[in-house]
């Protein structure tokens, strides 16, 4: 086996070299300030729909449709027109000595962004603190601003948090978060896998490579949370993250650029195999009497990283040419099937990516058409079987879609493009992560 490569080259999403010697361990979220910043900003953010609260209180439709209680209605309440006053009250309520909280009126008073301070997050047992604290502050601010009597204060709470009991989600409420309720998670530790592809693409402003990077960051957060980024699996996932999500070796960008005009999934695979041979990552193992050559990896974890980068490149070439996200499952399946059938090499994540692609293809195109890739996340039964490697492809495909999705990012998650537009780590994730990796200490 090759010696573990301690340093790698990373290029940006335009194929420009930005760092020649990045220590692999510094891409671990535990040691990378930029990735921690991305995760922290998502975790502490909640959006409160003031327009929806106003409508619920005016009509008495509390907790969603079929829950009309006209005796609780407040017909003339004007929450949207007084959004700035609500904002000021909420800001005072969540203010702490840490003073890094943020409360901002969005969309002309229709929505309120609340990011709770760090010391509140540190005290909380889980990430639901952002939604619960923000919701509680908005309830109190509305009650105080409009001097609502106690009996109808209950209605304000229901308008914000949704129907009782709110154990699975804020049903009929007005709270939105990138992270779903813990009781909706597929498994323990899956919190970071609950972020929709559309949310990622909205934050990345439809840049496919940035979307893949952010998707990888959330998956890396999950890997830390679930205990998968320690011991024997650490190098596998760190290399996969570097090559697939951070364009290490310029592998993704250069392959997409070369194949952009007339590339196919098979041609992308050939490009990756040629590069792996030239870089000494794989070698011929045996030539059969038929002339068929079986290859073997010299460094199996590095080969997996090359293969994953090729899978993302194939996704971009195919879904980019079609201007449609729907084909991502077919790309994943065909890329990995051709890979092991034509070379004898292990496919991405040793069969997990192929199995995930098959299930994704079956449940979105065959059995019942159970959802578009834009509204899916890595917590979805379609995508949960593979760790790290699938979600960047799904996010990139969604970013490259040109209107074939019924639920595009702009429709379901457009607000997230506004929230983080001035945060460097979201605007330039690859550069920010590399910059943090080159810093001393943690």
Q: Where in the sequence numbering do the catalytic residues fall?
A: 368
C-alpha 114/C-alpha 233 separation (Å) is 37
- φ, ψ dihedrals at 292, nearest 5°: -70, 130
* Cα dihedral 232, 333, 191, 442 sign: positive
Question: At what angle are helices 300-322 and 208-225 packed, to 10 degrees?
Answer: 140
Distance from C-alpha of 436 to C-alpha of 420, rounded to nearest angstrom: 19
- With 0-12 CB in 10 A as exposed, 13-18 as middle and 19+ as buried, what is 47? buried
Residue with structure tokens 């970071």? 192
Retrieve residue 43's tokens: 């975790």
Q: Using CA atoms in the order 208, 210, 212, 214, what is the torsion angle rounded to 10 degrees?
A: -150
Contact 407, 328 (CB under 8 A): no
Helix (H, G, I), strand (E, B) or coil at 103: strand
The SS3 of residue 17 is strand
Selection from 358, 352, 414, 359 nearest residue 381 by Cα: 359
Q: Half-sphere exposure of 157 toward its Cβ, with a 13 Å CA cutoff?
A: 13
Q: Tell me how far the alpha carbon of residue 15 is from its chain's centroid.
A: 23
- Specify whether the CB–CB gap between 220 and 29 falls below 8 A: yes
- Cβ atoms of 18 and 430 within 8 Å: the answer is yes
| Distance in angstroms between the alpha carbons of the first and the last residue of the chain | 30
Length of the chain, in residues: 442
Helix (H, G, I), strand (E, B) or coil at 116: coil
Residue 345 DSSP SS3? coil
């Amino acid at each position: 086996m090759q010696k573990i490569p301690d340093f790698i080259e990373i290029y940006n999403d335009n194929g420009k070299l930005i760092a020649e010697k990045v220590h692999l361990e510094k891409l671990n979220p535990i040691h990378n300030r930029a990735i921690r910043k991305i995760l922290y900003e998502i975790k502490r953010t909640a959006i409160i729909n003031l327009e929806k609260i106003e409508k619920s209180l005016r009509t008495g439709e509390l907790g969603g449709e079929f829950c009309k209680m006209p005796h609780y209605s407040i017909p003339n309440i004007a929450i949207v027109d007084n959004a700035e006053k609500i904002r000021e009250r909420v800001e005072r309520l969540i203010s702490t000595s840490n003073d890094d909280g943020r409360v901002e009126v969005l969309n002309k008073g229709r929505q309120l962004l609340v990011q709770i301070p760090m010391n509140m997050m540190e005290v909380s047992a889980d990430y639901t603190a952002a939604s619960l604290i923000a919701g509680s502050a908005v309830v109190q601010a509305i009650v105080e601003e409009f001097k609502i009597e106690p009996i109808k204060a209950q209605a304000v709470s229901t308008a914000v948090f949704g129907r009782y009991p709110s154990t699975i989600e804020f049903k009929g409420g007005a709270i939105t978060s990138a992270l779903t309720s813990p009781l909706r998670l597929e498994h323990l530790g899956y919190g970071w896998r609950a972020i929709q592809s559309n949310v990622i693409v909205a934050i990345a402003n439809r840049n496919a490579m940035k979307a893949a990077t952010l998707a990888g960051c959330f998956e890396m957060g999950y890997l830390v949370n679930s205990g998968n980024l320690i011991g024997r699996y650490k190098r596998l996932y760190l290399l996969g993250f570097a090559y697939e999500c951070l364009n290490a070796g310029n592998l993704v960008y250069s392959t997409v650029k070369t194949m952009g005009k007339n590339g196919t999934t098979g041609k992308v695979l050939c490009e990756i195999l040629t590069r792996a041979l030239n870089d000494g990552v794989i070698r011929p193992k045996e030539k059969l009497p038929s002339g068929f050559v079986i290859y073997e990896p010299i460094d199996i974890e590095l080969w997996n990283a090359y293969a994953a980068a090729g899978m993302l490149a194939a996704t971009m070439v195919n879904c980019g040419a079609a201007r449609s996200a729907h084909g991502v499952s077919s790309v994943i399946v065909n890329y990995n099937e051709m890979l092991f059938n034509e070379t004898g090499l292990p496919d991405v994540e040793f069969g997990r990516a192929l199995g995930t692609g098959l299930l994704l293809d079956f449940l979105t195109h065959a059995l019942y058409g159970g959802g578009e890739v834009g509204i899916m996340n890595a917590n979805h039964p379609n995508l949960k079987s593979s760790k790290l490697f699938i979600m960047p492809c799904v996010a990139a495909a969604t970013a490259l879609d040109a209107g074939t999705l019924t639920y595009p990012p702009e429709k379901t998650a457009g607000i997230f493009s506004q929230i983080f537009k001035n945060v460097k780590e979201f605007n330039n994730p690859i550069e920010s992560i590399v910059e943090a990796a080159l810093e001393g200490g943690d």
